[in-house]
Chain A
Amino acid sequence: MTIAFVQGEPLSPMRPPNMDVGPLRWLRREVFSSPMQGIATAAGAYVAYLLISSFIDFAIVRAVWQGSSRAACSDVPYQVGACWPFIWAKLGQLTYGFYPADERWRVNLVFVAALILLIPLSMPRAPYKLPNAIAFFGVLPVFAYGFLYGGSIITPWLSVTSVVFTVAAVISLALHAMRLNEQANLQPLRFGAIAVAMVLGYALSGVLNSPRFAPGMEFALLSGAGAATFEALLDRRASRMKWGAYGLLAAAIALTFAAAANAPFLEEPSLRVVPTSQWGGLFVTLVVATTGIVASLPIGIVLALARRSDATVLRFAAITFIEVVRGVPLITILFFATYMLPLFLERSPDAMVRVLVGISLFAGAYMAETVRGGLQAIGSGQHEAAAALGLNYGQATGLIVLPQALRLVIPGIVNSFIGLVKETTLVSIVAIFDLLGGLRSAFADPNWTAPSTLYTGFAYAGMIYFVLCFMISTYSKRLEERLRVDHRT
């Protein structure tokens, strides 16, 4: 018995039928799988062809590229597509509004600076995330304010530094008070001494008060911290009382900077003041959107934490605020900020500032719900573990809960930015000229009234909005995928 043939290795799989591979398979399965599908495909392809070809026809083939008035776009023998000279003529107005032409480099500079900071911030692999974030969220706004609004170049920085050190002094004093609290003897006396010193300092500052400079806060902190340091020196365990000294230092620096910010001789290297009524165009769209984005995050985090707090009054206040703001249209909030806010305050703030306040509060309320979603996803085990390690509320929230919660909702946060970019268009209803407002006023120019300028203007603005929003949404989707992969490990 001989074995005629033994198959030594497995047979290679047979090729699928020709109709079931490659593009043919795709055609058969997804395009012409049944007669009905075939008809649908043909109809769909026709519609797609019509849309694409008419857009190309409009934007390129039948477009007018050169000219200086509407005559270029209306006195043409054929039916005109886009009237691009209209955009060239209005480009400045659509981008900067009525910002003076020779000062527009300031806007460009701020824009480039923002871009330089934003690009590495949005790339997951770029290093130095924390300094970058501080530069973007902390330093850039001051820079932008100084350059866009104008006035002295140095003073805004001095004021901001002064505020930062004032906050540092307050924190130091609070930490000193906490340390005092741990020591049993003479507590009321020591607290009382600091409080008296602060009141005295506040009263003393009245001597120095002038319309320009009212350093009451800094003086109160300075003398309070001075009293704290003095006590610490009397104490035997002075090493434990270093916070009083730090507070003294911070208050002194804050006072110096506040005084410097008001010094007349620092007014000088200054930029021409451009009042916000002259701002407009794409630039205002970006300013409003960026302010909303930057301000909404801290407001949202505070509101979300307040909404989850045990303190009834705090929680109730947060819920009321969030639900009222989310229950009404943005336009009523903007009307509130524009017409009602000035009545509530002693001095009416600038129109742009009012709108920015309205947008920030609105975005903050929505952000609060996004952040709350993340907070709810963090198990109570995390809180308990933090408590077991002896962390207090601030430490547990800042070090354990928030970093995890925010990481979970980053895609939601980025998504809400798209909504914010789209919602900035509403400011044009309360007389702020953003891109859309600029577009409407460009349409009103009698030099350019032709039917084709309307379509051209909408095509131009539409492309800008689309590119902006599409970029953010694509970025958000990629981010979502990346974070999801991270969570699988």
Chain B
Amino acid sequence: MTPDAPARRDETHRTALVNDPKVRRIALQALLIILLSFAAYSAVKNVATNLANQRISSGFGFLSQTAGFGISQALIPWSETMTYARAYMVGLVNTMLVSAVAILLSTIFGFAVGIARLAPNFIISQLARWYVELVRNLPLLFQILFWYLAILAAMPPPRSALNILGSVFLSQRGLTLPQPVIQPGAAILGVAALAVLAAAVMIVRWSRLRRERTGFGMPRRVSLGLSALAIASLVAVFLLAGAPLQLDAPQQGRFNLSGGVTMMPEFAAFAIALTFYSAANIGEIVRAGIQGVGKGQTEAGRSLGLRAGSILRLITIPQAMRIIIPMLTSMYLNIVKNSSLGVSIGYPDLVSVGGTILNNTGQAIEVIAMWMATYLTISIATSLFMNWYNARIALVSR
């Protein structure tokens, strides 16, 4: 029973420095930093030697040089005498265009597929199911090549182009659509349309507030009458302003199609493939979302006397959206990332144009860094937007 016994035990069994978790953590991280910096150092050293051997100067100076190559589709003005930076921007715009088209179309089509998969009708749901199975189990690149090489390249020449719905033509040259032609006076129509829209929004809000306050909604006759009035007034403005907005429908001539706007086959094939591929995935997301809403919700809606359509619109879909939105976000990001596959068929997207720049200048590091930075920016911006939207519709828990 000596009073200094505990002290002596401490002395013999003192924790060694190596066993102190704090010291260990710091040592581990220091080691990691040393390793990483050594790797970075040797990489930089090798890059310097290799670039010197290949006589390539690093840096982004090449961006202001003249590009000197043609780009088959440019939404912003482009000529061969412009700079590499401009070429990169042309590619970026093309990437954005095909992503936007694919996102829009695949969302519409994907929701249809998802709802069709859950349809009570056996044949419809099986058709939707096998569409999803087929498309999801084939590589996207395979589908792009299929649409490009086997479908669009096998289309008839323009003089005997395939006619869809009267004014849409499919030929070797791509997809030709009617083009809206804006004439002077269209501004009045635009203002009128905005005014009608604003009035409609205000009336709907007022009616909803009134229903919440008094319990009386707007009678069906009144709402139908108001809609008719809105359409009639727009038509009147359109006629009074001298029909300032017209569709330039393509005409089938003897040798070629005239008029309309033609999308090059690369774009058409790529957009179609990307749309079908993404729609199958969105269909699965929608199905998962709808199935994620408890069956009790539908039954409760039915016992309240709601019709099937109202149950879907008022009860199922708003709840399903909470499950769908986060998954849809990553799907949209996937579409943007998949839009890089256009390079395989020569669609002049970011990767395709960047690849040409890379081959012309040999500036591999700079071009790849620019790609990564661009895609990361798009990814982050999309996630931020979708997170904001998700927060808006998320369940408010009290």
Q: Which residue of A lies closest to B375 (CB)?
A: A328
Binds B, one of A218-226, A247-255, A418-426: A418-426
- C-alpha spacing A167/B19, complex, angstroms: 23
Q: Which residue of B lies closest to A183 (CB)?
A: B16
* Interface status of B118 (Cβ within 8 A of chain A): no
By a CB distance below 8 angstroms, the chain A residues around B376 are 324, 327-328
- C-alpha spacing A324/B371, complex, angstroms: 12
* Interface status of A205 (Cβ within 8 A of chain B): no
Chain B proximity of A395: nearest CB distance (Å): 15
* Interface status of A461 (Cβ within 8 A of chain B): yes
Q: Which residue of B lies closest to A348 (CB)?
A: B50
* Interface status of A30 (Cβ within 8 A of chain B): yes
**What string of 1s and 0s marks CB contacts (under 8 Å) between B335-369 and chain A?**
00110110110000001000100100000110010
Decide: B142 and A443 in contact? CB cutoff 8 A: no
Given the known inter-chain contacts A44-B124, A454-B154, please indicate yes or no for A331 contacting B137, CB distance below 8 A.
no
Q: Which residue of A lies closest to B379 (CB)?
A: A327
Decide: A44 and B121 in contact? CB cutoff 8 A: yes
Decide: A47 and B141 in contact? CB cutoff 8 A: no
- C-alpha spacing A181/B20, complex, angstroms: 12
Decide: B32 and A317 in contact? CB cutoff 8 A: yes
* Interface status of A56 (Cβ within 8 A of chain B): no
Contact of A443 among B16, B18, B149, B375 (CB under 8 A): B149
By a CB distance below 8 angstroms, the chain A residues around B375 are 327-329, 332
- C-alpha spacing A389/B314, complex, angstroms: 53
Instruction: Give B134-192 interface residues, CB cut-off 8 Å to A.
Output: 134, 136-142, 145-146, 149-150, 153-154
* Interface status of A130 (Cβ within 8 A of chain B): no
Contact of A332 among B12, B33, B344, B372 (CB under 8 A): B372
* Interface status of A340 (Cβ within 8 A of chain B): yes
Contact of A331 among B134, B146, B153, B340 (CB under 8 A): B340
Decide: B122 and A332 in contact? CB cutoff 8 A: no
By a CB distance below 8 angstroms, the chain B residues around A440 are 145
* Interface status of A462 (Cβ within 8 A of chain B): yes
Decide: B142 and A41 in contact? CB cutoff 8 A: no
Binds B, one of A145-153, A194-202, A465-473: A465-473
* Interface status of B239 (Cβ within 8 A of chain A): no
Decide: A335 and B371 in contact? CB cutoff 8 A: yes
Decide: B32 and A425 in contact? CB cutoff 8 A: no
Given the known inter-chain contacts A332-B375, A466-B137, please indicate yes or no for A436 contacting B145, CB distance below 8 A.
yes
* Interface status of B127 (Cβ within 8 A of chain A): yes
By a CB distance below 8 angstroms, the chain B residues around A48 are 123, 126-127
Binds B, one of A14-22, A86-94, A307-315: A307-315
Decide: A344 and B46 in contact? CB cutoff 8 A: yes
Given the known inter-chain contacts A343-B46, A345-B46, please indicate yes or no for A314 contacting B28, CB distance below 8 A.
yes
Contact of B355 among A40, A324, A335, A465 (CB under 8 A): A335
- C-alpha spacing A328/B372, complex, angstroms: 6
Chain A proximity of B71: nearest CB distance (Å): 19
Chain B proximity of A41: nearest CB distance (Å): 5
Decide: A317 and B36 in contact? CB cutoff 8 A: yes
* Interface status of B380 (Cβ within 8 A of chain A): yes
- C-alpha spacing A418/B139, complex, angstroms: 10
Q: Which residue of A lies closest to B364 (CB)?
A: A339
- C-alpha spacing A321/B119, complex, angstroms: 43
Number of interface residues of A (CB under 8 A): 61
Decide: B145 and A332 in contact? CB cutoff 8 A: no
Given the known inter-chain contacts A37-B121, A458-B150, please indicate yes or no for A470 contacting B133, CB distance below 8 A.
yes
Decide: B122 and A425 in contact? CB cutoff 8 A: no
Given the known inter-chain contacts A31-B121, A44-B127, A327-B379, please indicate yes or no for A436 contacting B368, CB distance below 8 A.
no
Decide: A343 and B50 in contact? CB cutoff 8 A: yes
SS class, residues of chain A in contact with chain B: helix
By a CB distance below 8 angstroms, the chain A residues around B121 are 30-31, 33, 37, 40-41, 44
Decide: B47 and A343 in contact? CB cutoff 8 A: yes
* Interface status of B225 (Cβ within 8 A of chain A): no
Chain A proximity of B101: nearest CB distance (Å): 18
* Interface status of A45 (Cβ within 8 A of chain B): yes
Decide: A465 and B358 in contact? CB cutoff 8 A: no
By a CB distance below 8 angstroms, the chain A residues around B371 are 328, 332, 335
By a CB distance below 8 angstroms, the chain B residues around A184 are 12
* Interface status of A26 (Cβ within 8 A of chain B): yes
Decide: B365 and A422 in contact? CB cutoff 8 A: no
* Interface status of A230 (Cβ within 8 A of chain B): no
Given the known inter-chain contacts A44-B127, A329-B338, A465-B138, please indicate yes or no for A340 contacting B29, CB distance below 8 A.
no
Decide: B141 and A343 in contact? CB cutoff 8 A: no
* Interface status of B247 (Cβ within 8 A of chain A): no
Instruction: Give A200-248 interface residues, CB cut-off 8 Å to B.
Output: none
Chain B proximity of A376: nearest CB distance (Å): 16
Decide: B25 and A455 in contact? CB cutoff 8 A: no
* Interface status of B51 (Cβ within 8 A of chain A): yes
* Interface status of B6 (Cβ within 8 A of chain A): no
By a CB distance below 8 angstroms, the chain A residues around B379 are 327-328
* Interface status of A346 (Cβ within 8 A of chain B): yes
Decide: B25 and A310 in contact? CB cutoff 8 A: yes
* Interface status of A428 (Cβ within 8 A of chain B): yes
Q: Which residue of B lies closest to A418 (CB)?
A: B137
- C-alpha spacing A187/B15, complex, angstroms: 13
Contact of B46 among A310, A346, A418, A425 (CB under 8 A): A346
- C-alpha spacing A222/B94, complex, angstroms: 61
By a CB distance below 8 angstroms, the chain B residues around A45 are 123
By a CB distance below 8 angstroms, the chain A residues around B50 are 342-343
- C-alpha spacing A443/B146, complex, angstroms: 12
* Interface status of B253 (Cβ within 8 A of chain A): no
* Interface status of B305 (Cβ within 8 A of chain A): no
- C-alpha spacing A231/B63, complex, angstroms: 64
* Interface status of A412 (Cβ within 8 A of chain B): no
* Interface status of B43 (Cβ within 8 A of chain A): yes
Looking at A317, A422, A436, which has the most chain B CB atoms within 10 Å of its CB?
A422
**What string of 1s and 0s marks CB contacts (under 8 Å) between B3-27 and chain A?**
0000000001000101100000100
Q: Which residue of B lies closest to A313 (CB)?
A: B29
Listed from nearest, the 4 A-B pairs whose CB atoms lie closest are A44-B123, A469-B137, A329-B340, A422-B139
23 contacts between A and B (CB under 8 A): A30-B120, A31-B123, A37-B121, A40-B124, A44-B127, A48-B127, A311-B25, A327-B375, A328-B371, A328-B376, A329-B340, A330-B337, A332-B372, A335-B368, A336-B368, A339-B358, A339-B368, A436-B145, A451-B154, A458-B145, A458-B150, A466-B134, A470-B133
B→A interface (CB under 8 Å): 12, 16, 18-19, 25, 28-29, 32-33, 36, 43, 46-47, 50-51, 119-124, 126-127, 133-134, 136-142, 145-146, 149-150, 153-154, 337-338, 340-341, 343-344, 351, 355, 358, 364-365, 368, 371-372, 375-376, 379-380
Q: A324-B372, A327-B380 are in contact. List 19 more A-B contacts (CB 8 A).
A: A44-B121, A48-B123, A48-B126, A181-B16, A311-B29, A327-B372, A327-B379, A328-B337, A328-B375, A328-B379, A335-B358, A336-B372, A340-B365, A343-B47, A343-B51, A423-B139, A454-B150, A458-B146, A462-B138
A→B interface (CB under 8 Å): 26, 29-31, 33, 37, 40-41, 44-45, 47-48, 181, 184, 187, 310-314, 317, 324, 327-332, 335-336, 339-340, 342-346, 418, 421-426, 428-429, 436, 439-440, 443, 451, 454-455, 458, 461-462, 465-466, 469-470, 473
